[in-house]
Amino acid sequence: MDTLTPKERSQRMARVRSVDTKPEMFVRKLIHGMGYRYRLHCRDLPGKPDLVFRSRKAIIFVHGCFWHRHEMCSLARMPKSRVEFWSAKLEGNRLRDARKIAALQASGWRVLIVWECQLKLKEQLAERLRQFLDEGETR
């Protein structure tokens, strides 16, 4: 049973953002501080990637563990109410992500997914981002 009224639930869900989320802003600030420059949410690419590094042919998606179904993550737990609706919705998100990533990779893009739960370990994340971005450096 949902603890919120339908109106309260609607208002809460309306506040969920698709861009400029806190995890995305954290990663953007970290990468910018490391000296890398990027483009945001390029609509000409499948999935409107969060960060695009055209010269490096690299893309970074910042995914929320709940919305994108991060496997084996406590943040990706299934809601207790309307389980049928949520399982279909979230599985659809996961399948769409897989299609968009496959399309990007088929076009020659390198793709990295940063999960919301990985933001806790800032130094490890910074090193992972640096390795990924330097891997495709053009000279």
Of the candidates 32, 55, 33, 54, the residue with the CA atom closest to the CA atom of residue 45: 54
Token code pair at residue 130: 């640096």
pLDDT, mean over the chain: 90
Could you identify the residue written with the tokens 């698709």?
A: 18
Q: How many helices (H) and strands (E) does the chain have?
A: 5, 4
- Please report the pLDDT score of residue 1 as a whole number: 62
- Please report the pLDDT score of residue 137 as a whole number: 67
Instruction: Tell me the whole-structure pTM to 2 decimals.
Output: 0.86
pLDDT in tens, the chain (139 residues): 667 787 886 777 676 777 778 999 999 999 999 999 999 999 999 999 999 999 999 999 999 999 899 998 988 888 887 889 889 999 999 999 999 999 999 999 999 999 999 999 999 999 999 999 998 665 4
133 close to 56: Cβ distance less than 8 angstroms: yes
45 close to 103: Cβ distance less than 8 angstroms: no
- Please report the pLDDT score of residue 19 as a whole number: 76
